Structure 1
Amino acid sequence: MEYDVVQGDIAAQSADALVNAAGTSLRMGSGVAGALRRGAGEAINEDAMAKGPVDLGDVAVTDAYDLDAEYVIHAAAMPHYGDGQATAESIRNATHHSLAKADELGCRSLVIPALGCGVAGFDLREGAAIIGDVIADYDPDTLEEVRLIAYSDSEYDTIQAATETTANPDPNGSPDPDR
């Protein structure tokens, strides 16, 4: 499985599944969740909340509605909004469960944000390194491509630097020198 760091709006990505940076309540508020809700329509928020709450580090799946994906995997890397911050363990577990759920669903492509690194307050560089390590160590069944997405230039630069030792966009195993 290869993965790369890309920049853009997660709601504009095309993949089999998109991962939402969720809290345990699965209520879709701001940040990544807000972007996905705006792109998919309000029904996704109602669907997600009906499947919650979930345990910290766990996931739930909804239809992607108006997004260019089949599924949205809601990964609870942070407690319910206002009830605490993400931890290294919650980010690791949410990332692993997202990959495993995508495999279980038969997905070949997945787009994942820096879980726990927005409103959840976890350091972006450290969180991206954890996510990159989990992706690099994951042994997929169906997943062929994972894109770790950043919204801004500065987020992209931080995530790229944090994952450059684990990112493997080149089938020969060397990081892309043009990034």
Structure 2
Amino acid sequence: MKYDVVQGDIAAQSADALVNAAGTSLRMGSGVAGALRRGAGEGINEEAMEQGPVELGEVAVTDAYDLDADHVIHAAAMPHYGDGEATEASIRDATWNALETADELGCESLVLPALGCGVAGFDLREGAEIIGEEIDEYDPETLEDVRFIAYSDEEFDAIRSATGKAAASDAEADR
């Protein structure tokens, strides 16, 4: 399985599945969820919320609507109730479950963000290390191309440094 760190807007990516950095309610608010919601249309939030709430670390799958993907995998790395902060365990579980679900769906390509590292309050560098470890340890059945995406220059540099991944080419980042 090829695994790269890329920079860009997750909602502009082309893949079999895109991963949403979700909370347990599956309500799509700001950050990655907001970008995917704006790109997909309102139907995605309605479909996601119909499947929630889910347990911390679990995932739900929706159609990708107007996004250039077949599925959106909503990975709940943070609680939407109580303190709202991600943990090492929730990030590990959400990452692993997203990879496993993509395989179960027969996906060959997957794009995932820094789960739990935005509004969920987990340190980006530490979270990126955890996500990178889970990707490295995962033995795929159908997945061939996994892209760990960063939006800002600062986030991109931090994720690359934390995972030890060199920059992907511009052509790969625009897929």
Aligned to 1:13: 13
Tell me how far apart the structure 2 counterparts of residues 57 and 122 of structure 1 sit (CA, whole Å). Answer: 14
Tell me by how many angstroms 1:2 deviates.
1.3
Tell me by how many angstroms 1:84 deviates.
2.4
Tell me how far apart the structure 2 counterparts of residues 131 and 109 of structure 1 sit (CA, whole Å). Answer: 17
Counterpart residue type for residue 72 of structure 2: V
Aligned to 2:53: 53
Tell me how far apart the structure 2 counterparts of residues 145 and 177 of structure 1 sit (CA, whole Å). Answer: 13
Residue 135 of structure 1 pairs with residue 135 of structure 2: yes
Structure 2 residue ranges without an equivalent (≥5)? 171-175
Taking structure 1 as reference, are residues 162 and 135 closer, same or farther at Cα in structure 2, changes over 3 Å only? same
Q: What do the CA deviations read for 1:125-151 (whole angstroms, capped 9, x no partner)? A: 000000000000000000001000000
Aligned to 1:65: 65
Tell me how far apart the structure 1 counterparts of residues 68 and 169 of structure 2 sit (CA, whole Å). Answer: 28
Alignment of 1:15-54 (within 5 A): 15-54=15-54
8 Å contact from structure 2 (residues 125, 159) kept in 1: yes
Secondary structure of 1:120's aligned partner: coil
Aligned to 1:96: 96
Aligned to 2:106: 106
Taking structure 1 as reference, are residues 178 and 41 closer, same or farther at Cα in structure 2, changes over 3 Å only? closer
TM-score, scaled to structure 2: 0.94
Secondary structure of 1:100's aligned partner: helix
Structure 1 residue ranges without an equivalent (≥5)? 168-174
Tell me by how many angstroms 1:15 deviates.
0.1
Aligned to 2:173: none
Tell me how far apart the structure 1 counterparts of residues 139 and 86 of structure 2 sit (CA, whole Å). Answer: 25
Secondary structure of 2:62's aligned partner: strand
8 Å contact from structure 2 (residues 6, 167) kept in 1: no
TM-score, scaled to structure 1: 0.92
Secondary structure of 1:74's aligned partner: strand
Secondary structure of 1:22's aligned partner: strand
Moved over 4 A (4+): 175-179
Q: What do the CA deviations read for 1:100-132 (whole angstroms, capped 9, x no partner)? A: 000000000000000000000000000000000
8 Å contact from structure 2 (residues 5, 167) kept in 1: no
Tell me how far apart the structure 2 counterparts of residues 46 and 137 of structure 1 sit (CA, whole Å). Answer: 33
Tell me by how many angstroms 1:91 deviates.
0.1
Tell me by how many angstroms 1:83 deviates.
3.2
Aligned residues: 170
Give the alignment's Cα RMSD to 1 decimal.
Answer: 1.5
Counterpart residue type for residue 87 of structure 2: T
